Amino acid sequence: MTKISPNAADGFCKTAPRSAQFALLYGPDRGLVQERARLVRDAVFGTDYDPMNHVKFTASEIEADPIRLIDEARSLSLMGGPRLVEASGPDADLVGALTTLIKDPGTLSAFILITADDLPTRSKLRGLAEKTDGFGAVACYTDDAKTIPVLIRQVLETDHGLTIGNDARQALASQLGGDRALTLAALEKLALYVRSGEVTLEDVEACATDAAALSLDRLLYAITAGDGAAADFEFDRQLRAGTDPNAVLALLRLHLKKFMTVGIGVSEGQPIGAAIGALRPPLFFKIKDTFAAQARHWPLDRSLKALDCVRDTLVRIRQTGAPVVALTRQCLFDVIALKKQS
């Protein structure tokens, strides 16, 4: 087996034990990684979940003793039934343990699920998964203009039987993305708020203004406005609301990518207004003027530097174990400093 295509990713996760013995879920969207991990768990256990047959190792546990992964993968269930072993951890430790198991797959008595943050193409763990038969590698990237409308239809229309007009759909799409868990939570909250009938623009606005942990617009636009005091205040508010700092970084990257896209259009000769109008999904009309004013201060080179800053912070969080909140706050102020250079 090799890397699973985006279109086949959910289908693979829902049936993983039928076609594989191992699965690697990785990518910058931690919410999507966890959502697909849930699909794999459901595929392994079905309706007969037994916590005694589910072993989950943290990164620190694998780093301290990677042999435990091998032992658990080969251990038989005392009471019968399928077993699942989950793990995350340093590439080298995981690759060593997994290589041992791959060499003798007949000794496996459990499905092996590995989760990770974004992995570069040179990652040994990713390379092992992509070249090994019976090992499915699934990338979990942030939702975009193609996948967000699908999620809106699935949750609001299919799951809850609601309808939604074009204006409301456009406004809602502009608020979503960056983290699948936050996106699904926002859609479920909106569905519970409306309950039946049609989702209107007013419904979308009402839920967005109530949900600081879901929208994050005030924080994102404070950062790209170069307003350090407002950004610091809004970031603290997000932390109090329980927002994962990793989700803040994911949404900031999505926000900066919009400026990058506009910068590419301008560099190719488009007027800035036309480049903004070409964004997909389109900007929500209430923030379009704010975005347009800021876009003039975020040309392509500055946007790319800011995106590099966010990427490097995510790598440091994954590799060093340094305090996530402190690293995230420093990243926000590094981006603010780039804006002040304009």
* Count of beta carbons in the 10 Å neighbourhood of residue 10: 15
Locate all alpha helices (DSSP H) within the chain, ordered by sequence.
9-14, 16-19, 30-45, 59-64, 67-74, 91-103, 124-131, 147-152, 166-175, 180-194, 201-210, 212-215, 217-224, 228-240, 245-267, 272-277, 285-295, 300-320, 324-340
Tally the domains of the chain: 3
Domain hosting residue 120, numbered range? 3-139
Residues 77 and 204 in one domain: no
CA–CA dist 201, 208 (Å, integer): 11
Residues 125 and 146 in one domain: no
Boundary (domain end) residue, out of 213, 247, 269: 213
> According to the model, what pLDDT value does residue 209 have?
47
Boundary (domain end) residue, out of 213, 234, 264: 213
Residues 113 and 197 in one domain: no
Q: Locate tokens 């090994």: which residue? A: 132
Residues 200 and 286 in one domain: no
Residues 256 and 326 in one domain: yes
Residues 123 and 242 in one domain: no
> According to the model, what pLDDT value does residue 210 have?
43
CATH of the domain at 318: 1.20.272.10
Q: Check: CB of residue 170 under 8 Å from CB of residue 282.
A: yes
Boundary (domain end) residue, out of 213, 236, 261: 213
User: What single-letter amino acid sits at 337?
Assistant: A
CATH of the domain at 165: 1.10.8.60
> According to the model, what pLDDT value does residue 315 have?
85
First to last CA, the chain: 49
Residues 153 and 123 in one domain: no
Going by C-alpha positions, the residue among 246, 261, 323, 221 that lies closest to residue 32 is 246
Residues 198 and 148 in one domain: yes
Going by C-alpha positions, the residue among 254, 267, 336, 272 that lies closest to residue 301 is 267
Residues 33 and 105 in one domain: yes
Q: What is the DSSP letter of 341?
A: T
The answer for residues whose C-beta is within 8 angstroms of residue 305's C-beta and 6 or more apart is 338
Residues 57 and 121 in one domain: yes
Mean pLDDT by 10 residues, the chain (342 residues): 86 94 92 92 91 92 92 91 92 93 94 93 94 95 86 95 90 80 88 93 74 67 93 86 82 91 92 89 78 93 94 84 88 93 74
> According to the model, what pLDDT value does residue 1 have?
58
CATH of the domain at 50: 3.40.50.300
pTM: 0.63
Residues 246 and 206 in one domain: no
Residues 24 and 106 in one domain: yes
